[in-house]
Structure 1
């Protein structure tokens, strides 16, 4: 991976990855600035060069990145879709509104592609988080003491089939399959909500059969610079609560965050973590 030594602008949300990238840039003495949205400011942001802007004024983001001489931009971290007040729109958002407002009602990939296009029109190069943080993408193989069984392999294949079929609809990046049945599918509410649903509604037909797997994967055709699916310690805790046997991740397509802690949590819970090749 080629290190980006020019300025990087980070549009940050919640989660481990935004902070890890900022800390890595700071430790290496590389230029960066983080921008967070008012009402969604991470509690660690004061330790880094940053600005806080209203959702309705994206022109301030461009100003911050240009002032910091940024060449690259990365969208990273979880962020809920905002409720926008048209009375507060700046000139840029007013010009975007005819396309952006309908996109807010579409899938994440479509919305992020549109936003990325606006940043590229400003002269920035969009990059994925794994271009800024080494070893973020999961590789191929099982990372835990627990190993997937033959039944888990079958459930993983079924889950991959489901995600391939639904990917073009731009709905979600994960599903839960047990004994060949889809017990949950990720939608706009996210992975945690799906796993909470599975934990509350056990649909496994055979109580003594396969416990099931969570699978996370990029949507077919998804822009690889944007919205990479993520697995971390919280995912392991929720998968364990849902009674699953393990987590299957598309090798090269999923960010495994806080890797050591995530693997340790899976080992403690007796779950497997598997980077599955397509």
Structure 2
């Protein structure tokens, strides 16, 4: 997008993704605006000018983005549902409170949809990672030298079924299955906590030797412009500690950060990294 068409604002949450998006925009010749929620510190953006986003002052934030020439907004990184402070609301944002509270009570997906709708109503285009940094979303195929065997493929199918069921009730985006048995599902604490939990399970539950699959995918019907699941070298290390055979994820629907390092770690640990397509 050229400067005459407007700037892109990156609403930055925790983790490495916001810096990746900013870098991709700058490589394309853009001058992005970086905005962060109060109390959020994205990795790799220290020292960069950042606009503050307070939900209680959302309408003035919209005004600020318009003043900066922003036409497109991208959400990147993990966030925690904010606690609203009634004393901080300005008069215009206060009119949105019933809508925001109703969405927050309905769950994370409803909250995200409501936030996206508010930005769109203000005239901003919402851009997803697939639009800005498509290289972060691997195409179908095995990424390293280790391939899933028949047992791992069966575990992946079972885990995918579980993730689809969990996503339908807005619970999580991941599950771990070994020898056909579900060892853990992802909830609010996230993927790292799930892997750490499995690492502590006794051998009687996990089985001897390296077995089992972590599978991740977006929730059914999820707006893929925001909150895509992500993997990286830390995920690979956690899977190795948990004794898994590998990691599978929906091709085109899961972000892979630091791909070269993640693949190298997986190969060294004897784990597969499988971007699973619609045909399996």
Same fold (TM over 0.5): yes
Task: Tell me which residue corresponds to 1:264.
Answer: 264
* CA gap 1:116/1:147 in 2 versus in 1, 3 angstroms: same
1:97-246 mapped onto 2 (5 Å cutoff): 97-202=97-202, 205=205, 207-208=207-208, 211-246=211-246
Superposed CA offset, 1:161-194 (max 9, x none): 1122232211111111111111111112211121
In structure 2, what is the Cα distance between the partners aligned to 1:4 and 1:230?
29
SS in 1 for 2:8: strand
Q: Is the 8 A contact 1:33 1:48 kept in 2?
A: no
TM-score by length of 2: 0.91
SS in 1 for 2:148: coil
In structure 1, what is the Cα distance between the partners aligned to 2:135 and 2:154?
28
| 1:70 corresponds to 2:43 | no
Superposed CA offset, 1:132-152 (max 9, x none): 113111211101111111110
Instruction: Please list every run of 5 or more consecutive structure 2 residues that lacks an aligned counterpart in the other structure.
Output: none
In structure 2, what is the Cα distance between the partners aligned to 1:242 and 1:14?
24
Task: Tell me which residue corresponds to 2:38.
Answer: 38
Q: Is the 8 A contact 1:109 1:226 kept in 2?
A: no
In structure 1, what is the Cα distance between the partners aligned to 2:2 and 2:177?
39
Extract structure 1 runs of 4+ deviating beyond 6 A: none
Instruction: Please list every run of 5 or more consecutive structure 1 residues that lacks an aligned counterpart in the other structure.
Output: none
- 1:40, CA displacement in angstroms? 1.1
Q: Is the 8 A contact 2:14 2:43 kept in 1?
A: no
* RMSD after superposition: 2.0
Q: Is the 8 A contact 1:155 1:178 kept in 2?
A: yes
SS in 1 for 2:235: helix
